[in-house]
Amino acid sequence: MPIYEYTCQKCGHHLEVLQKMSDAPLSKCPECKGRLEKEFSQTSFQLKGGGWYVSDYGKSGQSPKKEKETTTTAAPA
């Protein structure tokens, strides 16, 4: 469940609430009953790296499978 941040427009009270995504957003401040506004906050989730490959997160001790090299020769005419 995500954590949502709200700030009261009347008293400036800031709160963080653990809510389901399907829950309705809060509308009244628990301190002064003023109007709450949902804040957009930064997450701690970051994607780093050059891409997503099978070999990036393989099991330890195993190496990625390599394709067999094949050589083709032309048949004499």
What SS3 class is residue 57?
Answer: helix
Unique residue bearing structure tokens 């709160």: 15
- Return the amino acid letter for 76: P
25-76: pLDDT as tens digits = 999 999 999 999 999 877 776 677 666 666 656 555 555 566 666 666 666 6
CA atoms of 18 and 44, how far apart (whole Å) = 16
Q: Indicate the DSSP class of residue 56.
A: G
Unique residue bearing structure tokens 């957003």: 25
> What is the chain's mean pLDDT, rounded?
78
